[in-house]
Amino acid sequence: MLGCGLACGRCRWILPLLLFCAIVFDIIALAGRGWLKSDNDSQESSLWSRCTSAGTCDSLMEYEWGKAAAAMLFCGFIILVICFILSFFALCGSQMLVFLRMIGGLLALAAVFQIICLIIYPVKYNQTFQLSENTGVTYIYTWAYGFGWAATIILTGCAFFFCCLPNYADDLLGNAKPRYFYTSP
């Protein structure tokens, strides 16, 4: 990606596009009902609630860890949206390239928030509801939880690239001299 992103101006818009994908994935993770599911369909959980096959749903916001997990994912999402907006301004003009490292740092912070959420949720959920005691039932972390991890991986990669891009400012602006790899015999 560095070769393409630095060689042609239109390819630098790949990073905001990846941030947009991470936003979509975070929305799916925040709104999705499939964070945890039992193999016999007796239970399904989201970030917000736990529902059983009997039709009863309990809010996970009654637990401190539920509030913390939701807050961490939501804070990471808000930081991601701010970075998405800032990335357009930073990549539009030459005087705005100073914001690239700041965007990279904010994205790393958002990734840390989301990693904390994605670790707190399964650990505390297993401890609270003693899932390991149900030996006949297998619990699977499903698609919405996976979208949360996908967004976090994208955030981590974009944080790296936004931190590295200022080193190649001349290439981004088209001011760099062409580099030739030909050596004379």
* List of residues 6+ apart from 87 with CB closer than 8 A: 15, 16, 19, 103, 162
Break the chain into its structural domains and give their ranges.
14-38+61-173
List the chain pLDDT tens, one digit each, 185 residues.
444 444 445 557 788 899 999 999 999 999 988 888 888 888 889 999 998 888 888 999 999 999 999 999 999 999 999 999 998 888 776 666 778 889 999 999 999 999 999 999 999 988 888 877 777 888 888 899 999 999 999 999 999 988 887 666 555 556 656 666 666 76
The predicted pLDDT at position 7 comes to 46
Give the type of residue at 100. L
Q: Does domain 14-38+61-173 have CATH number 1.20.140.150?
A: yes
Q: What's this model's pTM, rounded to 2 decimal places? A: 0.83
